[in-house]
Amino acid sequence: MCPISSIAKVLSNLRRGNLERPTVPRSAMEHTRSGSDILVRLDPGEEIHAALKQLANDLGFDAAAITSGIGRTRDNQYGYMNEEGVYQRRPLNPPSELVSLSGNIARTQEGEPFTHIHCCWSDDENNVHAGHLFQATVHVVAEIHIRIMEHAMMTRCPLADFELLGLEFE
């Protein structure tokens, strides 16, 4: 079945009151590329961080800017860093509109991809929730634009006294 048809089926089920969480047994992520620009489509059940890390490995890039993202996600966890340098986490479990997503993709000192993303959601009452993204699972679809920085090298390294990895450039 065409992926767009599967998305239409999910939407139809949601309209009829069938609120079961759609799942995808394998990675259904697809992308298209024009030069350094990539547009990624994530389907129901895919976790945003995991999918974008997989994309970095599949395409072999070391540095990228996540410039925008929209869609509908569920099982979201977001938060902020307090004055002690510790992240405070908040759940947003019901499906919500992903109205903005931005960040970057770098590599750790061990060479693994690392995503640093901030998001903004609107719940079904149009209340806004925003902060550092820890987790988000696609509920209907997510469409994300990434710009690969072809000649850049960014590395995430531990920072003293903070629950965060700093960004270093080569």
Determine the Cα–Cα distance for residues 106 and 115; give it in Å rounded to an integer: 7
What are the DSSP E strand ranges found in the chain?
A: 30-34, 37-42, 64-81, 87-92, 96-108, 113-122, 128-148, 154-158, 165-169
Mean pLDDT of the chain: 89
**pLDDT exceeds cutoff 60 at 4:** no
CB 140 within 8 A of CB 7: yes
Determine the Cα–Cα distance for residues 81 and 90; give it in Å rounded to an integer: 12
Q: Cα–Cα–Cα angle for 49, 151, 144, nearest 5°?
A: 30
Mean pLDDT of 84-108: 96
Determine the Cα–Cα distance for residues 138 and 140; give it in Å rounded to an integer: 6
Domain ranges across the chain: 3-169
Mean pLDDT of 7-20: 60
CB 140 within 8 A of CB 10: yes
Determine the Cα–Cα distance for residues 63 and 111; give it in Å rounded to an integer: 12
Mean pLDDT of 95-124: 97
Determine the Cα–Cα distance for residues 30 and 3; give it in Å rounded to an integer: 10
Mean pLDDT of 155-161: 83
**pLDDT exceeds cutoff 70 at 22:** no
Structurally, what CATH architecture does the domain formed by 3-169 represent?
Answer: 2-Layer Sandwich (3.30)
Residues 6+ apart with CB under 8 A from 16: none
CB 38 within 8 A of CB 65: no
pLDDT at 25: 44
pLDDT at 27: 58
- Give the tens place of pLDDT for each residue, 133-151: 999 999 999 999 999 999 9
CB 22 within 8 A of CB 44: yes
